[in-house]
Every structure is written in structure tokens, then in C-alpha cells.
Homo-oligomer: A and B are copies of this chain.
Amino acid sequence: MRTLVAGLVQQSCTQDTAANLQRSATAIRQAAAKGAELVLLQELHLGPYFCQTENPAHFDLAEPIPGPSSAALASLAAELKIVLVASIFERRAPGLHHNTAVVFEKDGSIAGKYRKMHIPDDPGFYEKYYFTPGDLGFRPVATSVGNLGVLVCWDQWFPEAARLMALSGADLLLYPTAIGWDTDEPDCERPLMLDAWTTIQRSHAIANGLPLLCANRVGFEPTSTNTGHGLIFWGNSFIVGPQGEFLAKAGTDAEEVLTAQIDLSRTQTVRRNWPFLRDRRIDAYKDLLLLYRE
């Protein structure tokens, strides 16, 4: 048995970056105090989800990696001796930005990063304006607590991404996320969307026999002042085991720190019982490299 206590932070964000980071730090300390050696933050946790509109001024929020925010997070990882997975709007060069997850080792060094590969773009989530699709591929980050298959938000809808992480030796899948309901979303659609989102991520755990953490934000964030319009981030962060079974689950509205003890050796047991990796028909998969088959 090879166990790992893992935690995640579900929080809301205001315009005050320093206060957001401070609240993240408090939550990370709580997770560490509960024994977490690995802590996952939500997507773009330094501030409100700025992709609700296309605004060139928002590029000022981007930072290099390493940079000021990554330095603060690295210090915290080193102080608490944890592996920390954070999410930063990366300024790689003028006019070239990514939605990047950074993995800090227990000594505060950068163990690796993942640049979001699948970029959404739909009303309220104008990410194609801000983020160039990642060029690092689907590669787990090797850390002292295991190989972390870090993916980001929209990636969670693509079984291909999780599979490639599993085939590359990931021990866990991690999804920093920012997803919610548009205020215009009819009430009847909301539970369907939330359930679909939970279900597809649990399915990646199942298909690959891997535990999975997903950290989502909470709270209402207006599109702009005084319209009443905006996004209601739906929380519901969770940790599941390699059969998709819930180990911990957060609510819809409140900030929460979730932790769970994960038995990493269960992956081998589960994969022996349901040996999907044995039976993939790689001789018949080549058209997965097409957008469509006419």
C-alpha cells in the first residue's frame, strides 16, 4: 500500500490579487495541516475569471514563469514541504500567452509545467483570445509524490488527454478548473451540466484506473459592473479513486478545503481486474488523428 494524502482548494476570487493569494495560502496551510503532501489550486486562482470578456488590458495580468506569483507559491511549497499545483496566466513573450499549470516541488523548485492544450471559446469563456494552445503536449510532471497528469479545465472533456497522460505513466490526474453557469442558463439545464462535468471526469479515472482531483472555483463573478449578468461558478470540486469512486466532494456555493487519503497502489489492483490497457486496438485507432471521417 502506497498512500498519499492529497488536498485541493475551492475558493472565490475578488479583484484584490494579494487578498486572493492570501486566502489561497491560508487554505493550503489548512490542507497541509491535515497531512496533505500534494495540494491543487483551481484554474487562474489569482483573480476573477477575466475571460468573460475580450479586453486587451487583461493581458497585463499575465506573468512570466518564474515570476512574482510563482515565487510566492514556491516559497509556500517549500515552507510547508508540499507539492503544489498552481495555475498562472503565463506571459511567454509579448503577444504569446498560455493558460499554464505549474508544479512546485517540496523544496520550492519548479518540477514542471503544463500548458493547457484544449482552449475553449464560447460566450463568457473567450479563452482563444487570451491563450495560445499549449505546445508541451500531454506529459506528466515527475514529482516526489508521483507522476502528476496535470490538465486544465476544458481538457477535462477530452478522453484523449487523460489517456495520453495515463499512457505516459501518470499516477494521478489533476484538473484545475473554472466552470460555472451563465446567469442566462435556464434552471433546468444547470443540474445536467454539472452532472455531465462530474461524470466525464470520473470516467477518465475509470478508463485509466487513476485517482483524480478536480478543483473548481465558487462564487458569482459579474461580466461587468451593474449588468447583473455573469458567471456562477459551481464549485463541486472532488477527489475520486481509480474506479471513479468519490473520496471527497465539495458543495456548490462555499469555499472549501478538501483532503483525501489516496491509495496509489489501487491503480495496479484495478488495472488487473479490468485490464483495459491490455486490450486497446491501436491497429484500429489511427483515425483518432482526424477531425472527422468523411
Q: Which residues of A contact B (CB under 8 A)?
A: 117-120, 122, 133, 137-138, 154, 157-161, 163-164, 167-169, 192-193, 195-196, 199-200, 202-204, 206-207, 243-245, 273-277, 279-282, 284-293
B residues less than 8 Å from A199 (CB atoms) = 199, 202-203, 206, 244
Q: How far is the CA of A159 from the CA of B163 in the complex (A)?
A: 9
Which 3 residue pairs spanning A and B have beta carbons closest together?
A203-B203, A159-B159, A168-B293
Q: Is the CB of B117 within 8 A of A195?
A: no
Which B residues are in CB contact (< 8 Å) with A167? 287-288, 290-293
**How far, in whole Å, are A199 and B274 apart by their CA atoms in the complex?**
15
Please tell me which one of the listed residues B200, B243, B291 contacts residue A192 in the complex, with CB atoms under 8 A apart: B243
Copies in the complex: 2
Taking a contact as CB atoms under 8 Å apart, the answer to whether A245 and B192 are in contact is yes
In angstroms, how far is the closest chain B Cβ from the Cβ of A195?
7
Contact B285 A289 (CB under 8 A): yes
Q: Are B275 and A122 neighbours in the complex by a CB distance under 8 Å?
A: yes
Say yes or no: A276-B163 contact (C-beta < 8 A), given A169-B293, A244-B195: no
A279 touches B160 (CB 8 A): no
CB distance from A100 to the nearest CB of B (A): 16
Besides A117-B281, A200-B206, 9 other A-B contacts (C-beta < 8 A): A157-B206, A158-B207, A159-B203, A167-B288, A168-B287, A192-B243, A199-B202, A199-B203, A282-B288
The answer to whether A244 and B196 have CB atoms under 8 Å apart is yes
Complex: A207 Cα to B289 Cα, angstroms: 16
Docked complex Cα distance between A157 and B160 (Å)? 13
Q: Are A196 and B243 in contact (CB under 8 A)?
A: yes
Residue from A118, A158, A284 whose CB has the most chain B CB atoms within 10 Å: A284
Cα A243 to Cα B207 with chains together (Å): 18
The reply to whether B137 and A274 form a contact with Cβ atoms under 8 Å apart is no
Distance, CA A159 to CA B207, complexed state (A): 8
Chain B residues with Cβ under 8 A from A290's Cβ? 167, 282
Judge whether B118 and A281 touch: CB under 8 Å.
yes
Taking CB atoms, residues of chain B closer than 8 Å to A289 are 282, 285-286, 288-289
Min CB distance A79 to B, Å, is 35
Chain B residues near A122 (CB-CB < 8 A) = 273-275
A/B interface sample: 13 pairs, CB < 8 A = A122-B274, A122-B275, A157-B207, A158-B276, A159-B159, A160-B163, A160-B288, A164-B288, A167-B291, A196-B243, A203-B207, A282-B289, A285-B288
Q: Write out the residue numbers on chain B whose beta carbons fall within 8 Å of the beta carbon of A119.
A: 279
Q: Which residues of B contact A273 (CB under 8 A)?
A: 122
